[in-house]
Structure 1
Amino acid sequence: MEYRTGSVGRVIAARFDHGEDFLAELRKIILTEKIESGWFQIIGAFAQAGVVTGPKEPVVPPDPVWRQVDAVCEVVGSGSVHLDNGEPKIHLHAALGDHGETLTACIRRNTKVYLTLELLLFELNGLGASRPWDEQGGFSKLRFK
Structure 2
Amino acid sequence: MKYQSGNAGRIFITRFEDGEDPLKELTEFARKEDIKSAIFWLIGGLKEGRFVSGPESDELPPVPIWRELHGNHEIIAIGTIFWYKDDPKIHLHGVYGREDSVKMGCMRDAPEVFLVLEAVVMEIINVKIIRDFDEKSEMILLKI
Mapped pair 1:99 → 2:105: no
1:108 and 2:108 correspond: yes
Structure 2: runs of 5 or more not aligned = none
Task: Classify the secondary structure of the residue corresponding to 1:58.
Answer: coil
Shift of 1:61: 1.1
Q: Which residue matches 1:88?
A: 88
Could you state the TM-score of these two structures normalised by the residue count of structure 2? Answer: 0.97
Where does the alignment leave 5 or more consecutive residues of structure 1 unmatched?
none
SS at match of 2:71: coil
Aligned residue runs from structure 1 range 21-60, under 5 A: 21-60=21-60
Judge which range, 34-43 or 130-139, deviates more: 130-139
Amino acid at match of 1:138: E
> Normalising by structure 1, what TM-score?
0.96
1:68 paired to 2:68: yes
Q: In 2, distance between residues paired with 1:79 and 1:119? A: 10
Cα deviation 1:16-63 (Å, max 9, x = unaligned) = 010111111111110000000000000000010110010011111100
In structure 2, give the amino acid aligned to 1:15: R
Shift of residue 133, structure 1, vs aligned partner: 1.7
Q: Distance in 2 between matches of 1:10 and 1:24?
A: 21
- Indicate the residue corresponding to 2:19 in structure 1: 19
Identity %: 33
Deviation for aligned residue 1:138: 2.1
State the superposition RMSD in angstroms: 0.8
> SS where residue 131 of structure 1 aligns?
strand
Residue 19 of structure 1: SS of its match in structure 2? coil
Structure 1: 4+ residue segments shifted above 2 A: none
Secondary structure at 1:132 match in 2: strand
Q: Provide Cα deviations, 1:72-131, integer angstroms capped at 9, x if missing partner.
A: 100000011100112111111000001121101001110100000000000001110001
Q: Which residue is 2:7 aligned to? A: 7
* Distance (Å, rounded) in 2 between the aligned partners of 1:19 and 1:92: 18
SS in structure 2 opposite 1:61? coil
| Aligned residue type for 2:118 | E
2:123 alignment partner in structure 1: 123
Secondary structure of the equivalent of 1:26? helix
